[in-house]
Structures are given as structure tokens and as C-alpha cells.
Structure 1
Amino acid sequence: MNVPNSLTMSRFVLIPLFLLFYLNDEPIVALCILLVAGVTDILDGYIARRSGQITLTGSMLDPLADKLMMLSVVLALLIKSVLPLVAFAVMAFRELAMIIGSAIFHFRGLKTVPANLLGKATTVIYYVAITLMFFDLPGGLTVLWCGIVLSFVASFIYFMKFKSLNRAS
């Protein structure tokens, strides 16, 4: 257990805290927790790469923590009637497909592809959309749909790179 993996693990702890505060009408505290999770996501990757502490555990847990956090956020927004069911369904489908696909590929011993720039941009767009929705500001849903479209483009590129990498091996 190194520092980057500890930061990743902290995100799993932040998920129920986020839900607790958001669902109990404390959106500012919940948003702060979400932003802390975002910062730990940036830090764990930076520290792991910079210090040569990239591990198989971290490479599996980091995206899982990200996806579970995002699923928790969109579920909470759905429960509070901030997010339409169709947006939740599309996002949940993609996140769950990525989790299940990654697990299957990992346990079959296939090489995985690191997150691409579009995937990282999608995350930033999601955070902007969520912030807009938390404060009931205009454009939140539009920005979210832009993120959703971008997430599918990123997933397609990820899948093509994955196929190419594993075909070559």
C-alpha cells in the first residue's frame, strides 16, 4: 500500500460520505467532498507516475473508484430529481460496461490501455455539469449531455486501442 493507492482507497470512503450529505440536503458539503475526490484522483496519478509507484492494484482500483463515484453522483442526482432518468440510464450503462469490461479483460490476462485524453476531458466536463446542477444554474444538463457524448467517443477510441494492443501481442 503506497501513497497513490492510499489516495485511491480514500475515494471509496468518500462515496458514502458524499451520498450521506447530498441526500440529507447538504449539497455544498457534498460538492466539497466530490471535489476532494477529484483532487485525490489527480494527485494519485501524478504521484504514481512521478515516483514510479504505478502498481497493478492501483491501475485497477483507480478507474473503479472513479466510476463508482460517478455512478453514486448520478444516482443521487436522479433520486433528487435533478437528473432525468434517460441521462442516468445512459451514464450508468457506460460506467457499468466499462467496469465489467475492464474486469473481464484483466482476469483474462489481456493488456489494458491507460485513460486517454478524451476520457480525462469527459471527467472535467462531468464535474462542470455536476457543479452547475448542484447550484441549479442554467446549462448543467446540456453540459452533461456533451460529456456523455464525449464519453462514448472516448470509450470507442479506448476499445480500438485495446483491440490493437492485444492483437499485436
Structure 2
Amino acid sequence: MHAGQGGSAVWTVPNAVSMVRLALVPVFAVLIVSGEDVWALIVLAVSGASDWLDGFLARRLDQVTKLGQVLDPAADRLFILVTLIGLLWRGVVPWWVLALVVLRDVLLACLAPVLARYGYGPLAVTMVGKAGTFALLYAFPLLLLAQTPGPVGTVSRAVGWAFAAWGIGLYWLAGWHYLAQTRRLVRAERDRERREGPA
């Protein structure tokens, strides 16, 4: 079975959760730019919880779908990107944090046409990739909370940057795993084509 296969249903509970998370992206963008930090923190918390919830429901309800396999990581990446842009706008994170995340996603985007050429869909999300996403989604509200003066801000800054470092590291480790997996799949398909010869 090629990577990325699943059911063809669209309107499932996990997909609805992912769609809600996508709908929260512009809401968060407006809140963070407007300086509404409390509401922005709430939206980030809801997004982080929904990221765990949709995967849990998909497995628990046996509702893993092709759309969900694309929608869930797409929602994660879009939320991470918009959040980082908002935090960069506010001066909460430096530009290189955004650059590291974007470069990794550009790498994955370059793999998509290679996989499609050999009949493969998006690769299944790995535990390493999911752990990196979780770490980043935990880091963002903490880094935003770090703007609070006093002990709360100090502790949030230390813990937030620890989560951010782990998240970026795991994000890139997962990217390396996806690259290696793509190379294995392409090599296997080319070997099969050589054995079978021209059609």
C-alpha cells in the first residue's frame, strides 16, 4: 500500500476538528497583531489541544481518511507559520526561528512532486514529526506569556525556548526521516521498473 492511503470520507469528526483549527488561523493572526495577548493565548491553547484531539479521534473512531492525512499536517504547518510570523512581528522571536521552520517545510514541499511521479501521496506523519509539532505548539504560548513582567515571564521564557529548541530540532529530524523515506521509495520503484523493463 502506498504511503498516504486512507478512507475517502470527507465529513468526519477528526476532519471537522482540523477545519476548526484552520479557521482559527486568521483569528489568531488578528489577535496577535492587535496585541490581544490573552485571547491569542486562548486560541493557541485551543489549537494545541485540537492538534492532539483530531489524531486521537481519527484512531479511536477509525476515521483515518485521505483528506485528514493532508488536512491535519497542513493545518499544523499553516498555524505554526502564521504564529511565527505574528511573534516575529511582535519581536517575540528572531527571524532565524521562522527561517529554520520555513526551510524545513520547503524541503518537504520539494518531495511532493517526486513522490507523486511514482504514485505516492503524502508520507504518513511520523512520531518524531508529531513530537516536534507538539513542542512548537507548546513553545508559542509560553513565549507569548514570557512578555509578562516578573517571575511568570521569566519562567515562561526559559521553558518556552526549551520547547522551541526541541521542537525545531525534532522538526528537522523528522524532515531528514521523510527525505530518507522518499529516497527508499524512489529507489525501490526504479529497481522495480528496471526488473520489469519497458512497457
TM-score of the pair, normalised by structure 2: 0.75
Aligned residue number for residue 13 of structure 2? 3
Q: Is the contact between residue 22 and residue 30 of structure 1 (CA under 8 Å) also seen in structure 2?
A: yes
Distance across 1 between alignment mates of 2:157 and 2:44: 20
| Per-residue deviation, residues 48-100 of structure 1 (Å, max 9, x unmatched) | 222221111111111111100000000001101111111111112223433x2
The Cα shift of 1:158 comes to: 2.4
The one-letter code matched in structure 2 to 1:163 is: R
Aligned residue number for residue 178 of structure 2? 158
**Residues 59-98 of structure 1 aligned to structure 2 (within 5 Å):** 59-98=69-108
| Per-residue deviation, residues 135-163 of structure 1 (Å, max 9, x unmatched) | 11332335423321221111111222333
Q: Is the contact between residue 107 and residue 175 of structure 2 (CA under 8 Å) also seen in structure 1?
A: no
The one-letter code matched in structure 2 to 1:149 is: G
1:47 to 48, 57, 77: 57
Bigger Rg, which one: 2
The Cα shift of 1:22 comes to: 1.3
Aligned residue number for residue 19 of structure 1? 29
| Per-residue deviation, residues 105-128 of structure 1 (Å, max 9, x unmatched) | 564331443222211221222123
Consecutive unaligned residues in structure 2, runs of 5 or more:
1-10, 147-155, 190-199
Higher relative CO (Cα under 8 Å, sequence separation at least 6) belongs to: 2
Distance across 1 between alignment mates of 2:104 and 2:138: 19
Aligned residue number for residue 113 of structure 2? 104
Aligned residue number for residue 141 of structure 1? 161
Aligned residue pairs total 168
Consecutive unaligned residues in structure 1, runs of 5 or more:
none
The Cα shift of 1:167 comes to: 4.0
Structure 2 CA distance for partners of 1:138 and 1:5, relative to 1, 3 Å: closer
The one-letter code matched in structure 1 to 2:157 is: P
Distance across 2 between alignment mates of 1:101 and 1:55: 23
